[in-house]
A = this chain, B = another copy of it.
Amino acid sequence: MSGSDVTKHPFYEKTVSSQPIFNGRMISLQVDTVRLPNGETATREIVRHPGAVAVIAMRDGRLLVVEQFRKALERVQVEIPAGKLEPGEDPLEAARRELEEETGYRAKSIRHLRSFSTSPGFAEEVVHLYVTEELERGEVRLDEEEFLTCEAIGLDQAEAYIDEGKICDAKTLLAVSLWRNRLLTGEWRA
């Protein structure tokens, strides 16, 4: 996620002014007025977000996934365990925390795979993706407003969930694709 000297890039958009619109529990919203490369001005609607973590957690060759209702989509989805960063929280610690809270498994070892933006056209959100293949029993501890169930699925089941539309978010599709690659090549590569 490099970004040095971005202000010298020919497409850089300098902020002329920034109008705060909303400051919520999870996100905030602002509208920036920017100077375009051609000298004109334009507005950019920007959702601020603290960042999130997601974990590819393998148990006996199966992927841990959680099923939950997503209000923004009015749909129940099956996703890899994920959650937003607490203020000041290290992403690695957040990944360990979210994994145990949502699945009841603790990672004996875990490593960072990739970080990626989710909606670069309007959102600041970056997801830090981790992988672990060494788990031990921990304790499920859901947030009081969180309702979900966890299961461990094989690749065939993951592909069936994709075909049924139960798995239909970018990070989980990416996880399944990386997993298929891992089975073909022996490597976790993003």
A residues contacting B by CB (< 8 A) are 1-3, 6, 9-13, 21-22, 24-27, 29, 31-32, 34, 36-38, 40, 42-47, 49, 52, 67-77, 79, 82, 84, 114-127, 144-145, 147-148, 159, 162, 164-166, 168-171, 173-174, 176-178, 180-181, 184-185, 189-190
Instruction: Specify which chain B residues have a CB less than 8 angstroms from the CB of A10 in the assembled complex.
Output: 147
* Given contacts A114-B162, A177-B181, A70 and B29 within 8 Å (CB-CB): no
From B11, B144, B177, give the contact of A69 (CB < 8 A): B11
Give the secondary structure class of A's interface: mixed
* A36 and B147 form a contact (CB under 8 A): yes
From B1, B3, B119, B168, give the contact of A119 (CB < 8 A): B119
Instruction: Specify which chain B residues have a CB less than 8 angstroms from the CB of A124 in the assembled complex.
Output: 72-73
* B31 and A168 form a contact (CB under 8 A): no
